[in-house]
Amino acid sequence: MSKRYQSNSSRDAVLDAAEQLFAARGYTAVTLKHVSEALGMKQASLYYHFPLGKEELYVEVMLRHLERRRVMLERLMAEAPPTLEGRLLQIGTWLIQQPPLNAGRMVLSDLPELSFEKSAQLEEAMYRCAFAPVEQLFAQHRHQLQYRLQADPGFIGGAFLSAIEALYTFKRYGVKTDDELVADLISLLLEGALKS
């Protein structure tokens, strides 16, 4: 096995372990010691791959995660039935099966701990990779929205994504399948809960 392959392989292992820890605990609660312990390696070894330390590791982990999310969202929307409901069901079912992004925690806790440049870089990536695809979906189907909401498809997209993150936790306490939960959420979002 070549040294370059081993280096890339061990770098990927570091990124994978750090991603799980950051996703579960957030930036401020995870230390490089936690990452090194999860990998069974010395903490100093992490600096071989990430010489600038925890911030560099976190930013790379999140950029990689967000890019994978963007690619998958676009693929799912392309494969889904061409209706708003069909696309929402496709992406919502996938999202509810993924660990949540915890965008609220990221914006309120994680990003303020980073340098201004890195925080701005991640905020832009969060918008482009996680939020914009769903916002664009609602913009494409703007004609189906109530008149007062047509000017702000981002609001509905954000509400949908926030609700999906909540469903990730909520599904542990119910008996409905992921598809059923997402379908109910879509119905609630698009049709409302009150009888007319």
Q: Are 54 and 44 in contact (CB under 8 A)?
A: no
Q: Given pLDDT bands bounded at 50, 70 and 90, which one contains residue 196?
A: low
Per residue in 81-131, pLDDT (tens digit) is: 999 999 999 999 999 999 889 999 999 999 999 999 999 999 999 999 999
Distance CA 15, CA 32 (A): 12
Q: Given pLDDT bands bounded at 50, 70 and 90, which one contains residue 168?
A: confident
Q: Which of 25, 114, 126, 8 is nearest to 35 (CA)?
A: 25
Instruction: Look at residue 18 in the predicted model and tell me its pLDDT.
Output: 96
This prediction has a pTM of: 0.87
Answer yes or no: is pLDDT of 64 > 70.
yes
Instruction: Look at residue 194 in the predicted model and tell me its pLDDT.
Output: 73
Q: Are 16 and 48 in contact (CB under 8 A)?
A: no
**Mean of the per-residue pLDDT values for the chain?**
91
